[in-house]
């Protein structure tokens, strides 16, 4: 199983209410992503077998799988931008969204999860590998909502970026994931001190009646991965354009792929 995606040193050159997962918001874009399955190698599909569900029994869970895949695809496009302009981006590591959720939602003791993470995430289990990376991206799924946690290992800091702020449920989930990461890093000999958890209050907000969290997460990663001061140059009003740009990237990739087959 390919447990994580990212760059290596060698590879570089405020609403408080929960937003519903409205399928109509992203369904067309996500469906396009599903139709160009060449974006994910065959072995990558194993990541999603973790969430094997029956659509008739649990349609909401099936929707969450599609949206998780869309976030993963968004990061794949970001990798291409990083490779084309390596001096403009930090070295970032990304763990597939649904794999993170599998660990996040396991009803197991912390050490059981830590040992499973060690076998599933080999590229972040050693200090030598971690020292080559600037940022670790983890996408968390909570109550039909996706939000982002970014770990700066050198600064020993985890920052939660959420397009819905002030909700205790999201803050608690971020804290639980950081607790698991603390145990994981200590077990792997990466660090003994716990991560400082910070809740960012400057990132853009989605409107309370929208379901744009997937696009917000993708834009968060794109913005944070760039070197220099973080500048938020998008907002809820830009979401129709961002959705169209994402769809164009998918179609362009699919078209280029078909020409090489």
Q: What's the pLDDT score for residue 7?
A: 56
Residues in the chain: 261
The least confident of 15-19, 84-88, 214-218, 242-246 is 15-19
Please write the tens of the pLDDT for every residue from 204-213.
999 887 889 9
Q: Listing from the earlier edge strand, what are the strands of the sheet with 135-141?
A: 5-6, 92-94, 135-141, 146-152, 157-161, 196-199
If you ran DSSP here, which 8-state letter would residue 226 be given? B
On the question of pLDDT at 257 being above 80, the answer is no
Q: What's the pLDDT score for residue 18?
A: 37
Report CA-CA distances (Å) from 53 to 30, 34, 45, 152. Answer: 18, 17, 14, 34
Cβ(215)–Cβ(26) under 8 Å?
yes
On the question of pLDDT at 40 being above 80, the answer is no
Full-model pTM: 0.78
Tell which wins on pLDDT, 22 or 154: 154
Cβ(69)–Cβ(27) under 8 Å?
no
Report the pLDDT averaged over residues 40-58: 41
Report the pLDDT averaged over residues 169-188: 94
pLDDT band at 57 (very low <50, low <70, confident <90, very high): very low
Task: Give percent above pLDDT 90 in the chain.
Answer: 51
Architecture of the domain defined by 89-227 = 3-Layer(aba) Sandwich (3.40)
Cβ(161)–Cβ(147) under 8 Å?
yes
Q: What's the pLDDT score for residue 67?
A: 85
Q: Phi and psi at residue 58, in whole multiples of 5°? A: -145, 75
Q: Phi and psi at residue 226, in whole multiples of 5°? A: -80, 140
CA trace torsion 206, 197, 95, 70 (10° rounding): 0
Q: What's the pLDDT score for residue 209?
A: 78
Report the pLDDT averaged over residues 232-249: 92
Cβ-Cβ contacts under 8 Å for 162 (sequence gap 6 or more): 147, 148, 170, 174, 199, 200, 203
**SS3 (DSSP) at 169:** helix
Report CA-CA distances (Å) from 193 to 132, 171, 184, 185. Answer: 19, 21, 12, 9
Q: What's the pLDDT score for residue 25?
A: 43
Report the pLDDT averaged over residues 47-69: 54
Considering the chain, what is the average pLDDT of its residues? 79
Listed by start position, the domains of the chain span 89-227
* Beta strand spans in the chain (E): 5-6, 92-94, 135-141, 146-152, 157-161, 196-199
CA-atom Rg of the chain in angstroms: 18
CA angle 23, 224, 210 (to 5 degrees): 25
Q: What's the pLDDT score for residue 105?
A: 79
Q: Phi and psi at residue 196, in whole multiples of 5°? A: -80, 130
On the question of pLDDT at 172 being above 70, the answer is yes
Task: Give percent above pLDDT 70 in the chain.
Answer: 72
pLDDT band at 170 (very low <50, low <70, confident <90, very high): very high
Q: What's the pLDDT score for residue 255?
A: 62
Cβ(95)–Cβ(137) under 8 Å?
yes
């Amino acid at each position: 199983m390919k447990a994580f995606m990212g760059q290596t040193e060698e590879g570089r050159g405020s609403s408080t209410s929960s937003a519903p997962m409205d399928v109509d918001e992203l369904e067309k874009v996500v469906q396009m992503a599903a139709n160009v399955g060449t974006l994910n190698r065959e072995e990558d599909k194993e990541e999603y077998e973790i969430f094997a569900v029956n659509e008739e029994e649990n349609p909401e869970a099936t929707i969450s799988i599609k949206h998780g895949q869309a976030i993963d695809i968004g990061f794949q496009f970001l990798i291409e931008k990083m490779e084309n302009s390596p001096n403009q981006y930090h070295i970032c590591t990304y763990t597939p969204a649904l794999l993170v959720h599998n660990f996040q939602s396991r009803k197991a003791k912390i050490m059981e999860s830590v040992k499973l993470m060690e076998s599933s995430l080999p590229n972040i289990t050693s200090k030598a590998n971690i020292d080559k990376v600037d940022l670790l991206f983890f996408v968390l799924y909570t109550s039909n909502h996706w939000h982002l946690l970014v770990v700066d290992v050198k600064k020993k800091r985890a920052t939660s970026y959420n397009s819905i702020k002030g909700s205790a449920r999201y803050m608690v989930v971020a804290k639980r994931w950081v607790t698991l990461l603390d145990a994981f890093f200590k077990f792997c000999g990466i660090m003994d001190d716990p991560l400082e958890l910070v809740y960012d209050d400057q990132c853009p907000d989605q409107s309370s009646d929208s379901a744009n969290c997937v696009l917000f997460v993708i834009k968060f990663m794109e913005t944070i991965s760039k070197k220099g001061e973080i500048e938020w140059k998008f907002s809820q009003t830009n979401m129709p354009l961002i959705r169209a740009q994402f769809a164009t990237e998918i179609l362009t990739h699919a078209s280029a792929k078909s020409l090489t087959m």
